[in-house]
Amino acid sequence: MSAMRRSLHSRILLYFLVVVVVVVFSLPFVWVLRSSVMTTAELFQFPPQWVPHPFSWKNYQDALTVVPFGRYFLNSTLVTLTTILGSVLISSLAAFSFSHLRWRGRNVLFMVLLSSLMMPYIVTLIPSFIMWRYLGGIDTFLPLVLPSWFGTGVGGAFNIFLLRQFFLTIPSELDEAAYMDGASPLAVYWYVMLPLSVPGLLVVTIITFGWAWNDLLAPLVYLISPSRFTLAIGLTEFATAYSIQWNLLMAASAVVILPVLVVYVVFQRYFIQGIALTGLKV
């Protein structure tokens, strides 16, 4: 009886702790949403109110029209999608080569590629910037997108590493059976490897999405015309221009956050699986 009571107590304590942690971590979200639908007058009250009265939905309309958010959204989407396409294609080809095909120098070259993960992005940024200036790539999306079509840049070596982990779980007997039937390595990649690693490809897609969508430093350095801005710079510009209007800024932030949350919630299962895989099989 006392043991049962003790276990009941510890269950209550457990739930209490979990609820406290969840509430504390969720408060900032609540605060943003609440601030995004308040009038300025209401925002600058102390003590602050939790529930806006009335709900000023117009903030969203204002925030999205004072700067061309539609344009930024389109630019971010374009950059992100082409980055994902290149990165998934090229890193999966390389990962297949580094996991299922045998060739001399394979492991050494893989380690060399992997070493780039330790390299701060800023070290290569200045020479890359100069290179793009000579090639006339400044103020275009090319410097943001093209590296991912060569297995570097956003995602880059990390995606190769991650997909290699996935491919290593696919038994090589499957490749051998396909080779018996006269398939080429390209056919094995396309008809065996890819269909069997859809979860892995999704993970890489989602992770690359997150990185490309969030990137600030590279767009800041390479993009000049406001019409080419991505959401990340657009939001920064918005903040400098309208820094006093916190309600609009919070509405704009909420709009930037939303697509990421949607993508995450839809693909949640794969996301966690992929992160787990990177963490456990290093």
Residues 53-82 that bind another protein (CB under 8 A): none
State which of positions 37-56 bind another protein (CB under 8 A): 43-48
- Please tell me the distance from the alpha carbon of residue 62 to that of residue 242, in angstroms, as a whole number: 12
The only residue of 29, 55, 57, 190 in contact with another protein, by rule CB under 8 A = 29
What's CA 272's distance to the chain center, in Å? 13
The only residue of 82, 83, 91, 205 in contact with another protein, by rule CB under 8 A = 91
- Binding-site size for another protein (CB under 8 A) equals 95
Residue closer to another protein (CB basis): 27 or 74: 27
Binding piece for another protein, criterion CB under 8 A, among 65-73, 77-85, 195-203, 215-223: 215-223
State which of positions 147-166 bind another protein (CB under 8 A): 147, 149-153, 156-157, 160
Amino acid (one-letter) located at 42: E
Residue 262 binds another protein (CB under 8 A): no
Tokens representing residue 255 in the block: 């709009």
Binding piece for another protein, criterion CB under 8 A, among 55-63, 134-142, 162-170, 274-282: 274-282
Q: Give me the least distance between CB of 196 and another protein, in Å please.
A: 17
Residue closer to another protein (CB basis): 56 or 97: 97
Sign of the torsion angle spanned by Cα atoms 113, 117, 119, 123: positive
Tokens representing residue 39 in the block: 């009038």
Binding piece for another protein, criterion CB under 8 A, among 59-67, 91-99, 166-174, 197-205: 91-99
Residue 180 binds another protein (CB under 8 A): no
Amino acid (one-letter) located at 121: Y
Angle at 222 between CA 239 and CA 162, to 5 degrees: 95
Residue closer to another protein (CB basis): 8 or 272: 272
Q: Give me the least distance between CB of 31 and another protein, in Å please.
A: 5
Return the DSSP state at 138: T
Longest Cα–Cα distance of the chain, Å, equals 80
Q: Give me the least distance between CB of 3 and another protein, in Å please.
A: 13
CB 87 within 8 A of CB 156: yes
| Burial environment of residue 16 by CB neighbours within 10 A (0 to 12, 13 to 18, 19 or more) | exposed
Residue 190 binds another protein (CB under 8 A): no
The only residue of 109, 170, 183, 202 in contact with another protein, by rule CB under 8 A = 109
Tokens representing residue 139 in the block: 């103020």
- Please tell me the distance from the alpha carbon of residue 263 to that of residue 235, in angstroms, as a whole number: 20
Query: Residue holding tokens 């120098």?
Result: 105
Residue 183 binds another protein (CB under 8 A): no
- Please tell me the distance from the alpha carbon of residue 4 to that of residue 142, in angstroms, as a whole number: 65
State which of positions 233-252 bind another protein (CB under 8 A): 235-236, 239, 246, 249-250, 252
CB 71 within 8 A of CB 227: yes
Residue 116 binds another protein (CB under 8 A): yes
